[in-house]
Amino acid sequence: MGGFMTDGCRPCVVIWAVFVLSSVMGYRPVIIVHGILDGPRQFEILSTFINQSHPGTSVTTLALYDYICSMKPLWQQVDGFREAIRPIMERADDGVHLICFSQGGLICRGVLATLPMHNVHSLIFLSSPLAGQYGDSSYLKYFFPKFIKSRLYRFCYTTWGQGISICNYWNDPHQRERYLKSNIYLAPLNGEIEHANSTVWRDSFLRIQKLVLIGGQDDGVITPWESSIFGFYDSNETVVEMEKQDWYLRDAFGLKTLNSEGAVVKCVVPGVHHTSWHSNLTVYKNCIDKWLN
């Protein structure tokens, strides 16, 4: 999530890209999707890492819905990011790699769900709240200073609340019924509620060749941090690991199948704060580099 704020939203897609000796080494293009209150400049170090280890790689950090505009509802953001990503995919005969940070991971999931013929080779989730968020982070206090986590559902699980990105993945384990009734983004993506697109979305998810889940216990923002590897709280706020989640056991969106095929990789790194994942060389070398060939 982390970054800086700026005024105004871009009315159209603006792409900030790094092209160095494009395709000389035959590396697949890399697309980076930022997190909440982020923009392209937070990913310059990551782009440098990629071009040092994979010279000539086309690295595109999408400058869309950045900074304060990242608070807009996620389905709206998905529409914009999808149209920015589509032409990059179409030019890449051998596929692309997608690196998605924090909230950007949820946006990427929405993009792929609605791009059924995508060609993503490696999908890399960098500290993303994949199973939801439920914690009093600095971001929560900034945007909702009058709420504590146990009461935020009163706002988030309303029509107004679902118009703000954070509420689209706010998952209160004590308000399960309200979450399932009101959530319009995370619940359908995770197959927690039935919907007409479930089969298409599942088939699209299964097109991914490698799914890399990166997170760690010192993140300080993603709560529980295990959400970055698809774990989440039960009603007692005890973390239930990915493999024991109901939607995993039902293989609701294809995660169990990918895992059974050996396509899912978990990379847990201690000592990394949320805003440092994309600039940490150890994280890059151990968790990202090998999947960008």
Catalytic sites, residue numbers:
102, 219, 274
Residues with Cβ < 8 Å from 118, sequence gap 6 or more?
89, 111, 112, 204, 207
Element (H, E) at 279: none
CA of 81: how far to CAs of 32, 63, 74, 161, 246, in Å?
A: 11, 9, 10, 22, 30
Alpha-carbon dihedral of residues 103, 109, 110, 112, nearest 10 degrees?
A: 140
In the block, residue with structure tokens 């990166």: 214
Alpha helices in the chain (DSSP H): 44-53, 74-91, 103-113, 138-143, 153-156, 176-182, 186-189, 198-205, 246-249, 255-260, 281-283
Residues with Cβ < 8 Å from 260, sequence gap 6 or more?
none
- Most distant CA pair in the chain, distance: 54
How many Cβ atoms are within 10 Å of 45's Cβ, its own excluded?
Answer: 15
Q: What is the C-alpha to C-alpha distance for residues 278 and 125, in angstroms, rounded to an integer?
A: 11
In the 8-state DSSP scheme, what is residue 102? T
Q: Which two tokens stand for residue 226?
A: 């295990």
Give φ, ψ of 78 to 5 degrees.
Answer: -55, -45
Q: What is the C-alpha to C-alpha distance for residues 215 and 85, in angstroms, rounded to an integer?
A: 25
